Amino acid sequence: MFVLQRMATTTGLLLHSPLVTPISPNVSAPRFFLAVSTKFARNRDRPFLPRNKSNGFSTSISVATDSSAPSISTQNEDLVDAHKDQTEKIVLPTNESSEKLLRIRHTCAHVMAMAVQKLFPDAKVTIGPWIENGFYYDFDMEPLGDKDLKKIKKEMERIISRNLPLVREEVSRDEAQRRIEAINEPYKMELLESIKEDPITIYHIGNEWWDLCAGPHVESTGKINKRAVELETVAGAYWRGDEKNPMLQRIYGTAWETEEQLKAYLHFKEEAKRRDHRRLGKDLDLFSIQDDAGGGLVFWHPKGAVVRSIIEDLWKKLHRERGYDMLYTPHVAKAELWKTSGHSDFYGENMYNQMDVENELYQLRPMNCPYHILFYKRRLTSYQDFPIRVAELGTVYRYELSGSLRGLFRVRGFTQDDAHIFCLDDQIKDEIRGVLDLTEDLLLQFGFNEFEVNLSTRPPKSVGNDEIWEKATSALKDALGDKGWGYQIDEGGGAFYGPKIDIKIEDALGRKWQCSTIQVDFNLPQRFDITYVDSNSEKKRPIMIHRAVLGSLERFFGILIENYAGDFPLWLSPIQVRVLPVTDAQLSYCKEVSEKLRASGVRAEVCHGERLPKLIRNAETQKIPLMAVVGAKEVEMQTVTVRSRFGGEIGTIAVDDFVGRIKFASENRTPF
């Protein structure tokens, strides 16, 4: 269960609540995964914590749950214990933890459909399932607006207040067909044809409305708390997800057991909206997607490019320290390469069309793996050369329907932080452990200290023999054991080519994002026939490990924006200091200060042309961490008066001291 926590601390209200939407490697929104925190103390420097007032949000949201799926916290235990006694918990149940909630949501979908058909008799019903944060129902009808939703909600309340019973009935297929024809519901007829089991089950609401349904439902509409139900949005949806079929009106709603739970959910939803990276990306001038260039293609603006550069530099530094060699490889390749790798057969629908170049077919790359294998194959490899670690920030291109694109979370061109390790069988464990260490160190730099780990094992259809699968899976388990991380096993959830570890990070709203993945691959080495020479001068097949830590730079940047609500910590902020003159008479000195800051590696700019209060407000709106105010006295004393976005006026400081404090705070990931 999700937990709502109210803490009487300087960080304000801590609201624990889920966001529940699907996740995939190129994802539009995060799915909330259940987890139990198993915390351990760190001996290294205290990590930067994302839930801190200095990050610029007075309300932050995170999650605790009572599920059995383990997660890992690297947050300092002292910081956790400091607030333990001040916590008041309100439980937000899930469909999995509360059958009552699931029944409420399913019944709400039926009640809503009944209300719609009472108000709009010509509306045709289709399907109405419960979903992770509520329910929806699809209708074939004229487009709906906000006023229509209000009418539907009022009619739902009347139906709930009447406490109508929900009655299950079993009928023959012929009888179900007769009833559907009698009320002229063509979509229900199509659904009936897809039901293979007999008899057919029907649920009635009183004697006034019925639907094909297997349940479950509450006993009567009065079991629903009408103050814990809300209709949220209307969206278009093609029947059965096929764009050749009619466009339907999909009404989304949310339902909870109590009014308090609904309020908590709505508060969370508003907070998520405030942090939406698409809005903040525009307001802060970080990135854009230009219609003239095409959907899903990201333009990194100067400020966003600064953050990206910081991420890339840190990524490269940590990889070089751990023995990775950097690669740059082409963005296109012969179509034959993708046939050899199997991407054309298994991933063709996500690839762009082939192009003819001098009577040879080429194709944009959807992945980097084949290039790294070609690099490996360039020369004969000895067993003494292992492990071989290569890494690349490689841009890939994947075909996505325009309707599935969403900001930085689902795009058509993105840069993966890709790496591959070639090693011997008995090196798998140590290499996996090294990747786990690297993953933790890199994610901690950005304030992510809550992880959930899943180990996926051999699926029914797979390549490779039993021995190598068992050896690889055991190596992954042993590496996780050495690391001291708890994990959940996803039996049969591995890729067909090998077992894998997926690591999800928790943001300031408690949402879980899968960024890091570690996959053992028995398939591509075989497809490309890569070998090495062992100690007996015989050719053997090496093990290949795929791994990514951040996932893609675009998606990770979107996560960072929402995690910090655009208020990046000082070390990551695109502009660290804005120098502000009281009048234009100080402008020349302001420029000198700005130049000195930039020469010392501090990202600074001068802003003028408005009254000082307006300049300060503009800097705060743009989420600039520090302001250096310059008046006549500061010019005379060769100082600046420093103002923090969150701490207010700090005081007058010599410029050299100002530079030193900024550099110290940036290097140590501490507030100014």
Cα–Cα dist 261/18, whole Å: 11
**Active-site annotation holds for 546:** yes
Antiparallel, parallel or unpaired: β 639-644 and 648-654: antiparallel
Residue 611: exposed, middle, or buried by beta-carbon count in 10 A (0-12, 13-18, 19+)? exposed
**List 5, 261, 303, 369, catalytic entry:** 369
Cα–Cα dist 251/234, whole Å: 5
**List 117, 416, 445, 488, catalytic entry:** 416
In order of 92, 107, 254, 296, the CA distances from 103 in angstroms are: 16, 6, 13, 38
Short-list 587, 667, 558, CA closest to 277:
558
**Active-site annotation holds for 117:** no
**Active-site annotation holds for 418:** yes
**List 188, 365, 546, 645, catalytic entry:** 546
Alpha helices in 257-368 (DSSP H): 259-274, 277-283, 302-321, 335-341, 343-346
Query: Is the backbone of residue 65 left (phi > 0), alpha (psi -120 to 50) or beta?
Result: beta
Determine the 3-state secondary structure of 341 from DSSP: helix
Total residues belonging to the chain? 672
Hey, which residues does 236 pair with through a beta bridge?
Answer: 249
What are φ and ψ of residue 86, in 5° steps?
-95, 10
What are the structure tokens assigned to 353, written together?
């069309």
**List 418, 502, 507, 567, catalytic entry:** 418
Alpha helices in 121-225 (DSSP H): 146-161, 173-183, 186-194
In what helix (H) or strand (E) does residue 418 lie, and over which residues does it extend?
strand 413-423
**Active-site annotation holds for 420:** yes
Cα–Cα dist 324/390, whole Å: 5
**List 31, 433, 500, 511, catalytic entry:** 500
Short-list 351, 152, 354, 138, CA closest to 249:
138
Cα–Cα dist 190/186, whole Å: 6
CB 369 within 8 A of CB 304: no
CA dihedral 427, 451, 516, 348 (to 10 degrees): 120
R_g (Cα) of the chain, nearest Å: 29
Cα–Cα dist 267/333, whole Å: 49
Q: For 165, what's the count of Cα atoms within 13 Å in the CB-facing half-sphere?
A: 4
Q: How far is CA 408 from the centre of its chain?
A: 10
In order of 40, 366, 420, 472, 531, the CA distances from 496 in angstroms are: 34, 19, 18, 13, 21
Helix axes 553-564, 302-321, angle to 10 degrees: 110
Cα–Cα dist 21/353, whole Å: 30
**List 420, 511, 555, 669, catalytic entry:** 420
Burial letters for 95-106: b for 16+ Cβ neighbours within 10 Å, e otherwise?
bebbeebbbbbb
Hey, which residues does 368 pair with through a beta bridge?
Answer: none
Residue 142: exposed, middle, or buried by beta-carbon count in 10 A (0-12, 13-18, 19+)? exposed
- Contacts of residue 507, defined as CB under 8 A and 6 or more positions apart, other chains included, come to 30, 50, 448, 513, 559, 562, 563
Number of neighbouring beta carbons within 10 Å of residue 246: 13
**Active-site annotation holds for 500:** yes
Active-site residues: which are they?
A: 369, 398, 416, 418, 420, 500, 546
